[in-house]
């Protein structure tokens, strides 16, 4: 119901002291650690409201699990944005979709000048929890991250990417190798135009106080359109390659930079170019060289990768993708707070997101034939055809059956990352989206594209996180955890634990507080 939807984006208070939860069923005793979640928690300051779901002030949650018991606490990130907004009791910092009106207290002249300032990038890190060198950070897509103590949820240090590498920010979805080496991507802008940079952060600290020391740009890829780089939310990584997917959702830098001048917000500077194509750029992780071959596909929008690996001379890339990038503009708070039919209308104009596989041939030379499918030795309906000296046109395979349509597609994909990222794998987990937010949990088996589904009316599960059991021998030996929102009932949010193999509920820990729908989480295991 629409009233329920509205509650998914209502503001809540923080719960900085741990409170106990009410457990139904059993939480396996072997689970030991903190399930950390991050997402927007406050949508209005004073009497002003944020416009875009990605704008809400960051609220960090911790479910501490130990010996079958669970406690809960939450804390707002005391970012400069949050402090400045609290102090002025008005929205003083530009977030993704919200324009700051000039301060009414300034006199006319100062007000005029304040419209010419560049929007100060926000440090409201509300997208995810990430790790660098073993430390936890909360992150969004700007240049500032906050180091956070996973025990107390207190922000201990503000870390600025620009002090370490020449980038304007970095994604909230880095990739980590088994030794702890972390890869990320960030943009830089110069008089020559916009560049996409692949960044590598070393696995260990030299001193206790280390943050991003030693981070380096592995390579820079120039944007095809100098003043309109593509927006990307994540990237793919296999054993030997980082794959940057340049998609036709563009950022109009001029509009963004002059945003204050025209009263437009940053998200108004994003546009979908349906005539554009999608380009896969392959970067060798060991040499930093970009492959001269450009792999091209139809225009798609992808926010989240599932996995990528190399097999028999091919690079297999699995992602959640849709054919239409208009969606990003639909997540504004006015839309989420709409009622009944208006809300259905918003949902129906959004393009569904589905899991897809692309297969890119790696071993091409001047003898590679044109105009025929180059994929052999791999069972797939995806195709790759050489159409130019250094150009390959790719079509995808659907990683699902017809039955996924009735669940509205799949987003927020997760795998058994520690053991199977960059390797051949069989299972992934995600949220089904029959509403503007997830309303089912799905496990996909890639061997036969069969699904297992957990779904109950009125319950809205967030991103499923897989945690392997201590002596796991199978890929899906472990649990899947998700925070489930219950907007129809007051204060009955719960942490759900499913057996990952059977996808049956093992137990739940109910929290006597309201929690808004969040984005991403991680499990911080404690031995």
Sequence ranges of the binding site: 173, 233, 304, 520
Q: How many residues does the chain have?
A: 527
Q: Where are the alpha helices (DSSP H) in 218-339?
A: 253-257, 259-262, 333-336
Nearest to 161, CA basis, from 147, 175, 178, 149: 147
Q: Which segments are annotated as binding site for Fe cation? A: 173, 233, 304, 520
Neighbouring-strand partners of residue 209: none
> How many beta carbons lie within 10 A of that of residue 146, not counting itself?
24
How far apart, in whole angstroms, are the C-alpha atoms of residue 12 and residue 512? 12
User: How many Å apart are CA 48 and CA 334, to the nearest integer?
Assistant: 13
Q: Is residue 504 packed enough to be buried (19+ CB in 10 Å), middle (13-18) or exposed (0-12)?
A: exposed
Cα gap 450→445, rounded to integer Å: 5
H-helix or E-strand spanning residue 114: helix 108-114
Are 138 and 153 contacting, i.e. CB atoms less than 8 angstroms apart?
no
Tell me how far apart the alpha carbons of residues 271 and 251 are, in angstroms, rounded to a whole number: 7
Measured at the CA of 290, the angle between CA 287 and CA 294, to 5 degrees, comes to: 150
- How many other C-beta atoms are found inside a 10 Å radius of the C-beta of residue 108? 8
């Amino acid at each position: 119901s629409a009233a329920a939807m509205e509650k998914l984006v209502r503001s809540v208070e923080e719960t900085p002291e741990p409170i106990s939860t009410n457990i139904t069923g059993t939480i396996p005793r072997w689970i030991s650690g903190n399930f950390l979640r991050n997402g927007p928690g406050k949508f209005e300051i004073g009497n002003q409201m944020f416009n875009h779901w990605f704008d809400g002030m960051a609220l960090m949650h911790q479910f501490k699990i130990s010996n079958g018991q669970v406690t809960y606490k939450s804390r707002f990130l005391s970012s400069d944005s949050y402090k400045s907004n609290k102090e002025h009791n008005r929205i003083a910092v530009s977030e993704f979709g919200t324009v700051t009106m000039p301060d009414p207290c300034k006199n006319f002249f100062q007000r005029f000048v304040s419209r010419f300032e560049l929007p100060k990038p926000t440090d409201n890190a509300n997208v995810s929890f990430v790790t660098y060198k073993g430390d936890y950070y909360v992150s969004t897509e700007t240049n500032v991250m906050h180091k956070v103590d996973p025990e107390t949820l207190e922000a201990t240090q503000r870390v600025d990417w620009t002090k370490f590498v020449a980038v304007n920010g970095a994604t909230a979805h880095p990739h980590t190798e088994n030794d702890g080496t972390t890869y990320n991507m960030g943009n830089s802008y110069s008089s020559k135009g916009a560049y996409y940079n692949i960044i590598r952060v070393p696995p260990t600290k030299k001193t206790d106080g280390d943050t991003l020391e030693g981070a380096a740009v592995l390579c820079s890829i120039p944007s095809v359109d100098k003043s309109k780089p593509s927006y990307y939310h994540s990237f793919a990584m296999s054993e030997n390659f980082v794959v940057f997917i340049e998609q036709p959702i563009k950022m109009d830098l001029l509009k963004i930079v002059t945003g204050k001048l025209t009263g437009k917000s940053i998200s108004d500077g994003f546009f979908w170019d349906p005539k554009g194509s999608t380009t896969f750029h392959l970067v060798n992780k060991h040499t930093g060289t970009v492959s001269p071959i450009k792999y091209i596909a139809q225009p798609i929008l992808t926010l989240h990768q599932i996995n990528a690996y190399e097999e028999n001379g091919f690079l297999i890339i699995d992602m959640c993708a849709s054919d239409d990038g208009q969606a990003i503009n639909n997540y504004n708070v006015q839309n989420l707070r709409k009622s009944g039919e208006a809300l259905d209308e918003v949902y129906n104009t959004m393009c569904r997101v589905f899991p897809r596989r692309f297969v890119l041939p790696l071993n091409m030379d001047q003898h590679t034939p044109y105009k025929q499918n180059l994929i052999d030795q791999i069972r797939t309906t995806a195709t790759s055809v050489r159409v130019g000296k250094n150009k390959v046109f790719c079509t995808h395979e659907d990683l699902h059956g017809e039955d996924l349509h009735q669940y509205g597609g799949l987003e927020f994909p997760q795998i058994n990352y520690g053991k199977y990222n960059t390797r051949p794998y069989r299972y992934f987990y995600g949220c089904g989206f029959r509403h503007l937010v997830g309303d089912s949990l799905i496990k996909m088996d890639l061997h036969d594209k069969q699904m297992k589904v957990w779904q109950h009316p009125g319950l809205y599960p967030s991103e499923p996180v897989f945690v392997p059991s201590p002596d796991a021998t199978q890929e899906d030996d472990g649990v899947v955890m998700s925070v489930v929102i219950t907007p129809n009932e007051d204060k009955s949010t719960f942490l759900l634990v499913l057996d990952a193999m059977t996808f049956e509920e093992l137990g739940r820990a109910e929290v006597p507080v309201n929690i808004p729908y969040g984005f991403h989480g991680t499990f911080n295991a404690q031995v």
